[in-house]
Amino acid sequence: MANLRAGLIGLGMMGRHHARVLSSLPGVDLVAVADAAGDPHKVAGSRPLLGSVEELIAVGIDYCLVAVPTAFHEPVGMALAEAGVHAMIEKPLAQNIEGAQRLADAFAAKGLVGAVGHIERYNPALQQARARIESGELGQVFQITTRRQGPFPARIADVGVVKDLATHDIDLTAWVAQQPYQAVSARTAHRSGRPHEDLVAITGILADGTVTNHLVNWLSPLKERVTIITGEKGAFVADTLTADLTFYANGLIATTWDDVARFRGVSEGDVLRFAIAKPEPLRVEHENFRDAILGKEADIVTMEQGLRTVVVAEAAIESARTGATVSVA
């Protein structure tokens, strides 16, 4: 069987990493790249360097990775759908709900494989956490908490921290819990003089009653990517910077020191950091998208799921604007 012919549009900070993976992905040939602003990271090599999605389509491609700024996700994606080209679009799917809906509808109408690049789903720590939750190791999930903070990414100009960073947490939380969001309440702040928010605190509830909260900013010199999943048997702590997953078990030994027992509530049990395989998340993401196009079993972030994440993100922004809890059920 001939290799799939892939194209890449958008050669910025993420585009260069997509180019690296696509260049070595079995069963795929990266045949051309495109960016109206040129090739700042010199990833084209001997491949044609084009200026538009139309030129890329004309080369003859089976699928395309879209890593352009968020404002261009919809027009680029719609052109690919119209041409019958499968596509994975970097997160968020689109700049607003209406654009995300149009993209999801267009790819579905054409029978194309459309995916969204929510890469955190493919982090080994979160993959392990979800598998272990599904097998019952945590029991009922009570709460999912995430912290995502670090310095400002110079690559971002057209969206705020909610749509750029918090969408990771919204997607991974719903995916890990296998439950949609029901409502969110949020507060944001503007501290850097930009038109978009720099930090957000989001509290939410999932359809099964799981409570969620997400602290996200790009104002901190401390880079942190942590997900804490608390359940009836203990807590999983996933550090997606190191891809480590640690389990804090509830204690089975009764605490006889009354003062400590009253203070702690749940007693502390064993602490176990799992030894797990750590493949690169971006490569796993690409492998799954390739397999989906080939009709094989694959786990991709569908455009419908990407749309749902945009709905929740916009609800958080609306909540911050009005001070009210916003339903997304």
Tokens 């080369």 belong to which residue? 59
**DSSP single-letter state for residue 178:** T
> Burial, 154: exposed, middle or buried (Cβ in 10 Å; 0-12, 13-18, 19+)?
exposed
Q: Give dist(CA 50, CA 52) in Å, integer.
A: 6
Q: Quick check: pTM over 0.85?
A: yes
Please indicate, yes or no, if residue 18 is contained in any of the structural domains: yes
pLDDT score of 274: 97
Q: How far is residue 202's CA from residue 314's CA, in Å, rounded to a whole number?
A: 12
Domain identity same for 197 and 157: yes
| Angle separating helix axes 303-322 and 167-177, nearest 10 degrees | 120
Q: How far apart are CA 235 and CA 248, in angstroms?
A: 5
The answer as to whether 305 is a domain residue is no
Count how many domains the chain has: 2
Q: Is residue 23 part of a domain?
A: yes
3-state secondary structure of 158: coil
Q: What is the per-residue pLDDT for 251?
A: 82
How distant, in Å, are the alpha carbons of 35, 133, 252 from that of 270? 52, 18, 9
Low-confidence ranges of the chain (pLDDT < 70): 154-157, 252-267
Q: Tell me the two tokens of residue 229.
A: 């999943």
Residues 44 and 99 grouped into a single domain: yes
Q: What range does the domain containing 272 cover?
A: 121-278+310-327
